Structure 1
Amino acid sequence: MTVEFEECIKDSPRFRATIDEVETDVVEIEAKLDKLVKLCSGMIEAGKAYITTNKHFVSGVRDLSQQCKKDEMISECLDKFGDSLQEMINYHMILFDQAQRSVRQQLHNFVKDDVRKFKETKKQFDKVREDMEISLVKNAQAPRNKPHEVEEATGTLTITRKCFRHLALDYVLQINVLQAKKKFEILDAMLSFMHAQYTFFQQGYSLLHELDPYMKKLATELDQLVIDSAVEKREMEHKHAMIQQRTLLQDFSYDDSKVEFNVDAPNGVVMEGYLFKRASNAFKTWNRRWFSIQNSQLVYQKKLKDVLTVVVEDLRLCTVKPCEDIERRFCFEVVSPTKSCMLQADSEKLRQAWIQAVQASIASAYRESPDSYYIERLDRTASPSTSSIDSATDSRERSVKGESILQRVQSIPGNDQCCDCGQPDPRWASINLGILLCIECSGIH
């Protein structure tokens, strides 16, 4: 609304009505702009809270990606989507920053500077207009017979009217400027904000457009994954039903899945499973450990990450036998030249399986040994319970091999003399007893 300067000079009722209308409009505009600025502030604060929460979400996505890094499909998906979401967060930050500058700050400055200046000018204008009306009344009331009062009233009216017209012209100019600036500030602020919105969605579209081929590829893979999962589920249900049928007749007193062993296993593990091991301390406590026969050794561990503890370094130098003279059932003992280890299985079948596995591993170790010829000769010449370690009639090459075994066995503490009579340099071994004997005592045993 534009106010005419001519009407201002006349101070006509039309001018006064226009001024009142403009002043009312300014008051209402100020209230609406204040409200809009507050709403924009609330929107920005909510946006910042959203950005903060979204950052936490993206951080969670990346943490999940690290957790699933062994699964390339999941890891790649989470990395790509996490990066895209981070870019969207950056776009949001730009959008809210633009809202801060274009709407909140720009309109707030308009209200704070221009509208406040208008209100201060209005106060001055209202005061001068009131002074002029008082001067008009005094001038009209001045008596004709009192020239001094007439002159004073006329002079005051002249000065007041001159001041009023000067201030009225300035006031009208400020009103017209304010009306024009109000239009510009509101339109410019909203246009800037909508440009920011356009840029935000354009950047988001470009980002997702680049991601679209991967999302389509992933959707296709997920469809196939659903089909594969359904097939796998049916197969698992079929296996479950078959195993369920089989377990109806199964004896659960032992775990038959661990009874079998294989000395020719591709992974080198002949047999593995849980056994109770008696500690060598004074308390003789029993602890359950995971045992395995591998690489001609008997080893165990408590957890997968634990280092394997070697019970017997070379199965060729040990023997195994069941133990019936202790209170606990299903026990057997692995005896080596340096120590013995008492073990307990969960059932008699498992005990027999472990004993047979150790014996088979011992035999397999001898077959795979470089001294296999010498051991085979011992098997041919020895009695069922004893075997000779010495040979005087073999060729030089075979003798060297025999001597190497003899030296290894005799180097073990306690093997430098006959275990029975104490005679030095024993050359016969009792495999069942795990001892060295002289030739005289070997005949007795």
Structure 2
Amino acid sequence: MPECVSVSDFVQEVQEDWSSPTTSSFTSKMMSCRNTVYLLEEALDSDRLVLQKMKKAAKAKYTSGQDHVAHLEQYINSMEKLSVNCHSNGEPEVGSAFYRLADFSKELVSPMKNLVSRRHDTTEVKDKVCVCSKQVEKEKRELARQYGMVRTEVSGGEIAEELEKERRSFQLTMCEYLIKVNEIKTKRGVDLLQNLIKHYHSHNNFLQECVSTTHRLKQYMEEMNGVLTMVKQRQEEEKKQLCALRDQLRPDSVPKQVYNMHQLLGDKQYGTERAGFLYKKSDGLRKMWQKRKCSVHDCYLTIAHATPNKPPTRLNLLTCQVKPSVEDKKCFDLISHNRTYHFLAEDEAECVAWISVLSNSKQEALSVALDGGRRGGGGGGESSMEDLTRAITDDIRRMPGNNNCCDCGAPDPGWLSTNLGILTCIECSGIHREMGVHVSRIQSLSLDSLGTSDLLLARNIGNSGFNEILEANLLSPSLKPSQHSHMAERKDFILSKYQDVHFVRRSHSSVAALRLGLQEATKSCDIYSLIHLYAQRTELSQPLHTHIQEKGETALHLAVLLADRTSLHILDFLAQNCSNVDAQTSAGNTALHYSCLHNKTDCVKLLLRARANIHISNTDTQPHTHTHTRFDHHVHVEYEWRLRHDDIYDSDDDFEDKVAVVTDSFLIYLLCTTSRRVQALYDCQADHHDELSFSEGQVLVVLGQEDSDWWHGYIEDEPDQRGLFPSSFVQPLSD
């Protein structure tokens, strides 16, 4: 490394040369001074490059800050406009909330603006240093050329005065150069750091202002939550009133969407089997026609998927109806028990062939079902019920969260808790069994013979929804056991989750408020609210605030009164998880009494399955013994399952046509019954002079059967009103 000279050494050498020029050795030090200048030049070049990068980064930071402020101002302006619109629309609370949030946002933008405005302080020193360093470099090169720092050859005839003059000029130039370098170091170091300290003071002030504003914003948000809750309740009440008005107006103005009344008979020459390609239309927003390979075999329609590794969709034609399109002769619809499929054939002849094959195959399925019912007492119905149970089970497995164990996350759980509606792995199911059936009732999805009633809660709850309640206060997912955890760890977690309910977010409401919540959850069929109340150890068998028929009615009585094909899961949850399924009203009626009095057959099945006492008498001294003789302990119920089957993989959106639900077992029972009095399930408007019009709930008398789909009869109260009506619109009445 070349020899250099420090500032203190340079000052000392110059002073010695100045005091005694004849004996000075400064000339020998001039090379060291030149080396020092070269090294300082390299250092200045390096610093200049670093400062240029700092300047570029500061400029980018300033620009992004300005853009951020501009976006926030646009956001605030939009909130203010929304506030004005809400005030104009008669929503003052909502408008005031938007206005206050806009004010808080302005308070947050203000310190941001102040912070961005400090950009000049952080770049001013960098600019001065760069300019100064360029100026020093220019002066250094010019003076070096003039006074010999870049030396040319010196003649030997120079006298001592000229040598002394040259030394003085060199010393002066070197001194001025070092002064400039000292200024650069000061501005690059101390001044720059002082400005950065000011900049970070601005950061500190910005954060303090934001913290202060955020604290006040938090207080306002807590106040606003209460106001918004009241506003939402008011809007919900308005919605209920509008829905009630809509239901009141609908029968006269809007026809209900039900099964097609005109089920055409197929041309027998086409047979009952066919294979080929059809275009299936998706029911979503895109309305795309998708080419699918279809086949009809053994009374089933199979629809292949576009993805080869996806299993095809299989539709039991026993519960389907074919409806030709009026607008396009190449199109037809196939209405199943839970959706409507739209098909397009290559031409009209192809369409007629497909419609005939589907109709013939359905007719064959009906004949098989009728023959099986006469010979074997309904063996076809059992097969259909098994198909339905299998379809429900497959649908449950595809629900959110059900691909993993509810407790440890193990894949493909195969065990069902019938009273909680969740799926677990085999290891966790053993711990559930140890807790007892009063906590969890475990069945195998593959090994046990399940009925549809066992699947009610699983179809309406699922692992994801259940864990959102039972694990709401779980501090970290890492506290949950994994599929590789030891049994002791699993057991501790499961006991804490189900028996001690440690992870439930509690509402801290009064007993009266919880009882009111129980009544509202039952009325609105809100299964998750019921689970939350159950997890908070609310007594599900307590008398409700208000009653519909008799004082002392419980949520179970209310669920029976409101039960239909869409709300049986509410009754099932209450029956399986309440402490007293035999709670009585002031008149001594239990929920089982209510089920008998109102002819709720499925409710009776669920209550008997929950071990309801059939020997309790009411004030009329009528026990349930007659109920037990009329209703067997069946495990199948008539319910609107709304199955998705395999269609969720077919890129089709949810269907829009709401069709009536007719399960396989009900249709077979309807066709095999010997009763001639039937009750209307839906409103029916005649399209031809020989057809019969009637309203939901009316009783009809069957006189004859045109075919499997159309019967002939009259209205019991109006014998003169006679005609044809669809068999799928009615249900039999027991004599």
Larger radius of gyration: 1
Task: Select the structure that is richer in helix.
Answer: 1
- Please report the TM-score for the alignment, with normalisation by the length of structure 2: 0.29
- Please report the TM-score for the alignment, with normalisation by the length of structure 1: 0.46
